[in-house]
Structure 1
Amino acid sequence: MNMPAANFSIGNLVRARGREWVVQPESKAEWLRLRPLGGADDEIIALIPELEFQPIEPATFPAPNPEKPGNHAAALLLRDALRLKLRAGGGPFRSFGNIAVEPRAYQLVPLLMALRLTTVRLLIADDVGIGKTIEAGLIVRELMDRGEINRLAVLCPPHLVDQWQSELAERFNLQAVALTSASAARIERDLPHGVSLFDHHHCVVVSLDYIKSERHREHFLTIAPECVIVDEAHTCASSGQGKQLRFELLQRLVADEERHLLLLTATPHSGDEAAFYNLLSLLNPKFAELQHKTSANDPLRQELARHFVQRRRKDIDEWHDTRGFPKRMTTEITYQLSGAWGQFFDDVQSYCRELAESVEAAGNGNARLIWYATLALLRCVASSPAAAAKALNTRLAGALDNENCLTDDRLYDGQADDLAGSDLEPPAQWQDVGRLQDLIAQAESLSGKSGDPKLAILIEHIKHLLEEGYHPVVFCRYIATAHYVAEQLRKQFPAVTVESVTGEYTPEERELRVQAMEEAEQRLLVATDCLSEGINLQHLFTAVIHYDLAWNPTRHEQREGRVDRFGQQAPQVRCSMLYGQDNPVDGFVLNVILRKAEAIKQELGVLVPMPEDETRINQALVKAALMRRGESSAAPQQFSLFDFEEAEEPLKPLQAQWHDALDKAKANRTVFAQRRIRPEEVMPEWEKQQTALGTEEDVRRFVQTACARLNAPLEVGKRNNYKLLPQHFPEILKQRLADEGIENPLLLNFTELHRSHPVVTLLAEHLLEEALLGEKPLAARCAATVTEAVDVVTTLYLLRLRHQLSYVRRRQPYQLMAEETVTLAVRGRTQPEWLIDEQTDNLLKCEPSGNLPTEVMQREIKQALDFIQSQASRVEALALQRAEALLADHRRVREAARDVGQYSVTPCLPVDIIAVYVLLPDAL
């Protein structure tokens, strides 16, 4: 019988099936998980030693061959490849080698909070655009890389499914499937017989719409994984039948005390006390009692601080992050309803009043429909001539139910906890078709810059923004308006790439249309609110224009938050609000709703949504819509001709509720502010691990050098972009890239290209495999170089250290493997001096100043190899020191996080000597 697997420890080298392997975590007495030496994680195999034809034997790492020396550039290339390929890095954060994002210091706070909880239950309520998705992704990736979870479900609104799927893949290397009403049948049909969804797909993004039905809900509960993220969690805690079912689902999920739960929301407290404490009860049922406890020193409130984190933009300033958020510059732009446009607006108002009077005289119960027609018409008229014509052309009677017409989402901008809506124009055509034809003709005649003062002021504003280098997004309420504005802007700015994106397109098509603008020198996007959630725009755009005022302040924040958010590189983001200064609807919405919301936001730091009361809001809006514009020969000051007191009267109870919600939110912030974890407790470990794994400069140098040596040099493009040409690579590398979907030329931006990108990973793997196995490797394992960088013979040894990391958490033992790359320098030969520091690493970047004959290079390399092999005990002592340093790093982070569990670190011996490089002083 062959040697049992129990004799091999994690990190050991073994020989099986004619090649060398590294023993991986989860190996057991009966079977081994093995990764090929120099291979990738997706090449890991499992085998049973007793069934192998040849015994599995211990192996040693082969020494560099002095007969195959390379040059110094090839030496640096190997070091970069080795470092950038590391995934199970040696630092205390296990996930950092597997993520494609550089988190900011404050984003590590939820991760440290999670590490101190036996079962992770967190409510992350950071402001819009701060990066809740990244914070949640860091936590689940860390739990996975520690071996504490294997499966994940993300529950989110349907419009966020695609965004979550792409974020998990692009930023965290987690390949998720999307489970929606449209895809569920296909996914389940493709499952192997007898295998459950989460056994086959470890990561699944689930649309909340999909699990609305009882059958789907019950099925999900039977297969739910050990970790669940809930995005827009406030939509699962409010009142209402659909939301109540969601809340019950979450209650049943957390009934399993071992299940990890991350709740994400930017609006945890939107004035609905019951909903807020429902959310808290999902973290711990006892937290519901906090509704009746007011003392900040209450032990239960202090316990909640371990589970709840909420930061505003200004809270982030205390972290002194030099890459802070851009400054948001806001402005208001006004226009007058003058000339033919003003006459058209007045004619539409007169038509609406006549309708109201005729319905009132008839007494036929159509008052609600007239309310609807009035709001629909005046909203579309204020939007654009195109939207007005569309509304006037669409018959109202029969299209809407009289009782429910005022809840039609074509008219409004969604509620605080559900911003999804339709960007189709509402119908507004009533009787008297002849009169309507005149209004339609008027609307159509006003199209274009000369007849549309709103469009004219937009064009002038965009001209200034483009001159200052901004890339604007223009948000419109309706599809017809978006197409009309885009068409007019193309005429005015022929040199600018102008695109329009509306709800007519699927989410995938919307994203493709946005991405297609990336190469444009100047770009201008016109979009409806289908883009105000779900697709991030910060990488391509730097300004937001509200062409149509939203009637919901939360919608305004969502629009601006698509551009002003984590990842925005511009120092400033411009946000402009455009409105008619003598339009009573604009005036009412701006003065009574938007400005009061902004005042509350300025006081608190986050938005508190306006309480919901459709009847009162509609009543107020209709009164405002029917106000007459005043007559004045001079240009009136904005809204000075309107007295909104009568229209505002129905909203006074809501305003009182709004301020009450503000007071409660302020009190909650005082109690729940997360101030236990400080920047200085987080950043040293992150920065140390970043250096060990490879910086942006390392990635740039490696990719450029690797491509050049593979005869496929990058093409230089515009704005820091480069073009990768995979068709010129060796066939085996081309095939591997094709497997990752990279077959055609690919644009690379090194400010965004992370070390875990498939291009970087596959280049590193290819060069390392060649270096270990190839006859003429491009990356050299040994070299001898003459340089002015040293004054005495200095030998650099590139070492790979493997450590076995053991820890106990939730009374469960875990064993992991950690790897690190270390450059050891030995100065001199008679009395050698051993050095390991940053300067040592930098010697690899030295400039050669002369060439050596091949036989001299071989002699120097052999002498260096003989020396290091005679110093085995010294090298082992170095490995023990590194293990102790790694343990100290883990303990330091553990103390900062108040982590639970016990750690130990043991080096795997012997140490791998990857490469030997001799530097000879130029004076010799």
Structure 2
Amino acid sequence: MTLNFAPGDLVYARGREWVALPSPREGILALRPLSGGENDTVILDPALEALPVEPARFDLPANASSTVQAKAALLADALRLTLRRGAGPFRSAAQLAFEPRTYQLVPLLMALRLQVPRLLIADDVGIGKTIEAGLILRELMDRGEVDAFSVLCPPHLVEQWVGELKARFGIDAVAVTSGTASRLERGLPIAQTLFDAYPFTVVSLDYIKAEKRREGFARACPDFVIVDEAHACVGTHKGRQQRFELLAGLARDPERRMVFLTATPHSGDEEAFARLLSLIDPAFASMDFDDARYRERLARHYVQRRRIDLVSGEWGEDRAFPKHETTELPYPLSKPHLAFQETVLDYCLSMVSRAGEGQREKRLAFWGTLALMRCVGSSPAAALSALRNRAASESDRLEPQIYDEDGEDEDAVDLEPGTTFEGDPALAALIKQAEGLVHEHDPKLKALVDALEPLIKKGANPVVFCRYLATAEHVRDGLRRAFPKLTIEAVTGVLTPDERRDRVAEMVSAEESNSIQRILVATDCLSEGINLQQLFDAVVHYDLSWNPTRHQQREGRVDRFGQPAELVRSIMMYSPESAIDGAVLEVILRKAEEIRKATGVTVPLPDERGPVTNALMASMLIRRKSPRQLTFDLHLQDGAKIMEAQWRDAAENEQKSRARFAQNAMKPQEVAPEWEKVRSLLGSPADAKLFVERAMSRFGVPLEPKKKSVFLAHIDALQDAALRERLAEHELKGSIQLATVEPVPTGSALVTRTHPLTATLGEALVEASLDPESLTSLGIGRVGAWPTSAVKQMTRLVLLRVRFKLTVHARKERLLLAEEAALVAIQSDRIVAAGAEARDLLNAPSTANMAPSARDLRIAKAREDLNGLLNGPIDDFTRDRAKELMADHARLRAAAGSASRVTVEAVQPPDVIGLFVLMPAEV
């Protein structure tokens, strides 16, 4: 006879009891041992088993060993923290390796209220869009609604996404890039695609957008997709058009769930914004932005918060982010350096005057001037490299390099551009002059050292951003001479993305303690892609960026959610005597700051760069006061007026967009109670820390306090070899540093219920109670009796593992397993406390040791009455809990026309893990 087992059913097979999990296919069983964790799951075919698979029942055994109060409380905490299949509407909460902020749950709630989630998350830089998208993904996976997914992102973000999914959400995804795809495809059957073989993928947009790959991906694409840096997928550039065609094709499937992430959804370009919104719903592309009904409809799919809204508003997230202190650092040029800059500018202007009257020739000469002057202002090393490089940069690449928009299809370019001026004998003299300056005293580098010295004394760890590779290496070498005791590295575009990450990671692994300070010198290849907040807390703009959003991106690597320092500093260096620095400050950066203060938004430079180029050239000419003024000075100065008008129009459009679509519908009081309910059931980081503290003490290795909210766990001091081996499998060896609150200090990990130390200790203790042969020295029994001042009459505490069958009624009906740890306090035949109140009773210390005979008598009587309690008040409790859970699920789904609903059924009887009798202290 064939038996059908549903998720949650108990099964006896291979000589032990198991819990049935959702089956991978009909006729096959997925089973998890009752005394094991999720990693012990097995898949079996009942038809191939030597002995039949039968239904089972979990009863409190007659020979269950007794225990004392402290160990009983430890067992209850272990059970609570090890269950991974939460029954509440936030099913993913049990799987998270971090504590999400309340505001980060808003997109999740929005997604749960949509029948087919399509969201555009447009929060500011550093708020946590990756976390918000990951929460949606993890929740839908744990609800059984997502079996496969792809994250589409620029190539430099692929590894970061893979790491974040693993570290925060426990999801193992593979990176699909031009460098990994062939390896992943090797050995696959002809009929199987890479995306069939690997259901969890993070895919480089630039790899997959090519026409030959785009069509194959569209056919195999999972029905859940996250798109990062979504703004880079709309626009007129060829690369952006290819990306948009890819996404538009995916979005045509009305059942595909898609989440788009960007910090700059609008940027003043309403046409590009409409194209982006069309990926959510084609109707959004043509609707009137000023129509209230349109905005109301869009608000269900669009969330945009500024950091100031979260810090100063009712969300009260003042410590989720650091305070930011910005300063400017003007430095003087020495006479030789000033003379060199003036000589190079004279040389460039003479080349411009000989460029001819053609518009293209003039423009190329202007670009060549700006590119070379920018290298000169960066460092003599960068100037020398540019002057020596006779292979001039391609003309269509010069402009984007000048304005720091180097990559539609590649990382930021930090190589010095080649000079476009050839055939002039004066060039050799300039090279000789630059060669001399490379080995002389550098006033800019000295100003940097002087600025860093007080920061270093305060314990800061700065990132110094340079524009060019030669400058970065020059600055690294100079800082190593100035600060020989510090760890100082440089990360530039000569390294691959993987090598960049490794170089940064080595700066941590090289440390023996947090007291060792570090300085990172980087080019803009790191201004996007690698989050640095755990390692660094200050930013120095050694070279001015000519794109104001790049300054924001640089600082955003450090000044973001998860930064443990309370204060982040940023310093902008420039020379008032430098014609090029002065022009950039006047034409671009000061204007950008004025617009930001007036409108509250930072927008990139206008797409039409001609007026910007003219304005910069005019500004340099005025500062140079050259006797050879060019005849078109007035025309050049008009560029500043044209540029400023275009820029202000774009800023006003962006400001209107933010005002129209700001997410104000969901309030903290609507989100926080739902999450607090989950935390009370599953345990907060503070609960996890208390458990780890008690458990390590029980194993004879108490935690060592390090500083406020930080402590050390000495893994190698554990006497139990099997436990040390299990921890070593999670790379936990030696002494590890743990923290109980976020932001987490560098070198520490947040101790949560999913941290390997918490999970391994919890599983070991639960197994020790259920398996008499496991960790016998601990004495973790399942029954006990003791007197306590916490009760006035005899009270029985029953520790339960309650299983629920969750049926999701949607397009495809799914039956899921859910579990909760429950502790109920019973007096006579009535439950008088549950949850936190019952835990307080169990945690109340015993006032004396009972005589063994009296203790055994109390335990025997409680065991004798157990069946009556299971069929009476405990049965009522679990059924009521199922109804409460069903109401919780319904409340979160009952909006925006969601057709799915959830029914919850308690599996009877629940597993009795522990039975403890509390007697009044005076007895």
Return the letter of the residue paired with 2:156. H
Query: Which amino acid is 1:802 matched to?
Result: R
Q: Deviations over 1:714-771 (max 9, x none)?
A: 6665772525536957555455445545567654444323322333323322332232
How far the C-alpha of 1:582 sits from its partner, in A, is 2.3
Q: Distance in 2 between matches of 1:365 and 1:654?
A: 20
Query: 1:638 maps to which residue?
Result: none
Indicate the residue corresponding to 1:636 in structure 2. none
2:330 maps to 1:334: yes
Q: CA deviation at 1:895?
A: 4.0
State how 1:312-327 maps to structure 2 within 5 Å.
312-316=306-310, 317-321=313-317, 323-327=319-323
Does the CA contact (< 8 Å) of 2:469 and 2:523 recur in 1?
yes
Cα distance change, pair 654–360 in 1 and its aligned pair in 2 (3 A):
closer
Q: Are 1:390 and 2:385 matched, yes or no? A: yes
Q: Secondary structure at the match of 1:910?
A: coil
Say whether residues 1:505 and 2:495 are aligned partners.
yes
**Identity value in percent:** 46
Q: 1:387 to 1:437 in 2, by over 3 A?
A: closer
Aligned match of 1:768: 766
2:232 matched to 1:243? no
Q: Distance in 1 between matches of 2:362 and 2:700?
A: 75
Paired AA for residue 301 in structure 1 = R
Which whole-Å CA distance do the structure 2 matches of 1:801 and 1:50 have between them? Answer: 29
> Is the alpha carbon distance of 1:366 and 1:302 closer, same or farther for their aligned partners in structure 2, counting shifts above 3 Å?
closer
What is the aligned partner in structure 2 of residue 211 from structure 1?
A: 208
Equivalence for 1:424: 415
Pick the aligned partner of 1:406 from 398, 403, 409.
398
1:834-853 equivalence runs, <5 A:
834-852=832-850
1:893 and 1:111 map into 2 onto residues whose CA distance is 10
SS at match of 2:86: coil
Letter in 2 for 1:767: L
Task: Evaluate the alpha carbon distance shift between residue 657 and residue 223 of structure 1 in structure 2; reply closer, same or farther with a 3 A threshold.
Answer: same
Quick one: which amino acid aligns to residue 715 of structure 2? L
**Secondary structure at 2:91's aligned position in 1?**
coil
Q: Distance in 2 between matches of 1:571 and 1:874?
A: 51
2:477 corresponds to: 487
Question: Alpha-carbon deviations, 1:776-806, whole Å to 9, x = none?
Answer: 1634423444555555544432111111222
Q: Identify if the C-alpha distance between structure 1 residues 127 and 583 changes in structure 2 by more than 3 Å, giving closer, same or farther.
A: same
Q: 1: distance between equivalents of 2:601 and 2:777?
A: 57
**How big is the shift at 1:712?**
6.0
Partner SS, residue 473 of structure 1: strand
Match of 2:147 among 139, 146, 150: 150
Q: Matched residues in 2 for 1:339 and 1:661: separation?
A: 41
- Asked if residue 435 in structure 1 is aligned to residue 425 in structure 2, the reply is no
How far is 1:152 from its partner? 0.4
**What one-letter code is carried by the residue in structure 2 that aligns with 1:489?**
L
1:120-155 deviations in Å (ceiling 9; x for gaps): 111111111111111111111111111111110011
Contact 1:682-1:896 within 8 A present in 2 as well: no
Matched residue SS, 2:908: strand
Q: What code does the residue aligned with 2:405 have?
A: G
The equivalent residue for 2:745 is none
Cα distance between partner residues in 1 of 2:357 and 2:243: 45
Letter in 2 for 1:315: D
TM-score, length-scaled by structure 2: 0.90
Q: Once structures 1 and 2 are overlaid, which stretch shifts more, 119-128 or 485-494? A: 485-494
Residue 590 of structure 2: aligned partner: 595
- Residue 150 of structure 1 aligns to a residue whose secondary structure is coil
TM-score (norm 1): 0.90
Shift of 1:444: 1.8
Offset at residue 277 of structure 1 (A): 0.8
CA distance in 2, matches of 1:399, 1:417: 21
Instruction: Answer yes or no: is the 8 Å Cα contact 1:802–1:908 preserved in 2.
Output: yes
CA deviation vs aligned residue, 1:649-705 (integer Å, no higher than 9, x gap)? 224333222222223223323332222222211110101101211111222233344
2:518 matched residue in structure 1: 523
**Distance in 2 of aligned mates of 1:19 and 1:723:** 34
Aligned amino acid, residue 11 of structure 1: G
Q: Distance in 1 between matches of 2:142 and 2:687?
A: 24
Note the C-alpha offset of 1:564.
1.5
TM-superposition CA deviations, 1:507-534 (whole Å, max 9, x none): 2332233334444423332222122111
User: Following the alignment from structure 1 to structure 2, what is the Cα–Cα distance between the partners of residues 836 and 332?
Assistant: 59
| Contact kept in structure 2, 1:808 and 1:901, CA below 8 Å | yes
SS in 2 for 1:763: helix
Q: 1:149-185: per-residue Cα shift (whole Å, max 9, x none)?
A: 1110011100000111111111111111000001100
**1:65 & 1:604 partners in 2: Cα distance?**
73
Q: What does residue 915 of structure 2 align with?
A: 916
Change (3 A) 1:348 1:44: same
Equivalences for residues 653-692 of structure 1 within 5 A: 653-692=642-681
Cα distance in structure 2, aligned partners of 1:73 and 1:192: 57
Describe how 1:11-160 pairs up with structure 2 within 5 A: 11-26=8-23, 30-63=27-60, 68-160=65-157
CA 1:34–1:717 in 2, change beyond 3 Å: closer, same or farther? same
- Could you say if the C-alpha distance between residues 27 and 858 of structure 1 is closer, same or farther in structure 2, counting changes exceeding 3 Å? farther
- Aligned-residue offset at 1:535: 1.0
Secondary structure at the residue paired with 2:125? coil
Compared CA separation, residues 216 and 29, structure 1 to 2 (3 A): closer
Q: For 1:573, what is the secondary structure of its paired residue?
A: strand
* Deviation digits for residues 411-459 of structure 1 (CA, Å, limit 9, x no counterpart): 441169789311222334854364134312332233xxxx333223322
Q: Give the residue type in structure 2 aligned to 1:336.
A: P
Q: Match for residue 903 of structure 2?
A: 904
Further displaced range: 719-728 or 233-242:
719-728
Cα distance in 1 for partners of 2:57, 2:358 equals 95
Q: 1:452 to 1:365 in 2, by over 3 A?
A: same
The one-letter code of the counterpart of 1:406 is: L
Question: How do 1:573-588 and structure 2 match up within 5 A?
Answer: 573-588=568-583
Counterpart position of 1:807: 808
Count of equivalent residues: 894
Q: Aligned with 2:910: secondary structure?
A: strand
Structure 1 residues 196-345: aligned runs within 5 Å = 196-290=193-287, 293-297=288-292, 299-316=293-310, 317-321=313-317, 323-345=319-341
- Asked if the contact 1:415/1:612 (under 8 Å) is kept, the reply is no
Confirm or deny: 8 A CA contact 1:271 1:611 kept in the other structure.
no
1:544 aligned onto 2:533:
no
Tell me the distance in 1 between the aligned counterparts of 2:449 and 2:689: 40
Q: Matches of 1:193 and 1:416 in 2, distance apart? A: 35
**Per-residue deviation, residues 347-377 of structure 1 (Å, max 9, x unmatched):** 33334334445x4499999766654443233
SS in 2 for 1:130: coil
Deviation at 1:279, TM superposition (A): 0.8
**Kindly tell me: are residues 294 and 194 of structure 1, through their superposed partners in 2, closer, same or farther at Cα, counting changes over 3 Å?**
closer
What secondary structure, in the 3-state scheme, does the structure 2 residue paired with 1:205 have?
A: strand
> What RMSD in Å do the two structures reach over aligned CA positions?
3.1
| Counterparts in 2 of 1:654 and 1:626: CA distance versus 1, 3 Å | closer
2:630 is aligned to none
In 2, Cα distance between the equivalents of 1:762 and 1:124?
36
Distance 2:639 2:489 in 1: 41
Change beyond 3 A, Cα 1:445–1:10: closer
Q: Secondary structure at the match of 2:267?
A: coil
Contact map agreement 1:344 1:442 (CA 8 A) in 2: no
- Single out whichever of 674-683 and 491-500 deviates more from structure 2: 491-500
Corresponding position of 1:695: 684
Indicate which of 712, 715, 725 corresponds to 1:725: 715
Aligned counterpart, 1:821: 821
Change (3 A) 1:364 1:202: closer
Determine if the alignment matches structure 1 residue 706 to structure 2 residue 695: yes
Deviations 1:84-112 (A, max 9, x none): 11211122111111122222222111111
